[in-house]
Structure 1
Amino acid sequence: MQTEKYRGYTLWGHAILQQEDILRRGRFAGSGTIMRDTKVVEVSGVLGAFETDEEAQSAGLSWCRAWIDSHG
């Protein structure tokens, strides 16, 4: 999980391992969560499947920043 501060919000980028077949390399589902103080403001849901946990987390953070920019 990655976190960052952006325009007064705390952003979380999540990566969830998607292991469909034990013989295949896993992929990661990405999502984002936006918080202000201790309250959840918005949650993305699954944004897609990514090859690495870093890509999934980055996609979650990008979604969070875009949501804030469009609702600011």
Structure 2
Amino acid sequence: MQSEKYRGYTLWGHAILQQEDNPPTERFAGSGTVTRDTKVVEVSGVLGAFDTDEEAELVGLSWCRAWVDSHG
């Protein structure tokens, strides 16, 4: 999980391991959470499946920044 401060909010990018059986592969679901003063403001839901945990987290953070920009 990665976090950053942005325009008075704390943004969280999440990566959730997704294991597929056929063929056996590991992918990561990405999502984002926006918080302010330790309270959850908005949650993205799953934003897609990605090859690395870092990519999934970065997509989550990007979604969070876009949410703040459109609601700030």
TM-score, with structure 1 as normaliser = 0.95
More strand by share: 2
The answer to whether residue 67 in structure 2 is matched with residue 64 in structure 1 is no
Match of 2:40 in 1: 40
Match of 1:9 in 2: 9
- RMSD after superposition: 1.1
Deviation at 1:42, TM superposition (A): 0.1
Match of 1:26 in 2: 26
Deviation at 1:24, TM superposition (A): 1.9
Query: What is the alpha-carbon distance in structure 1 between the residues aligned to residue 9 and residue 2 of structure 2?
Result: 14
Query: What is the alpha-carbon distance in structure 1 between the residues aligned to residue 68 and residue 25 of structure 2?
Result: 34
TM-score, with structure 2 as normaliser = 0.95
Stretches of structure 1 that go unaligned for 5 or more consecutive residues are: none
- Code of the residue aligned with 2:19 in structure 1: it is Q
Query: What is the alpha-carbon distance in structure 2 between the residues aligned to residue 23 and residue 47 of structure 1?
Result: 22
- Code of the residue aligned with 1:71 in structure 2: it is H
Deviation at 1:61, TM superposition (A): 0.1
Stretches of structure 2 that go unaligned for 5 or more consecutive residues are: none
Aligned residues between the structures: 72
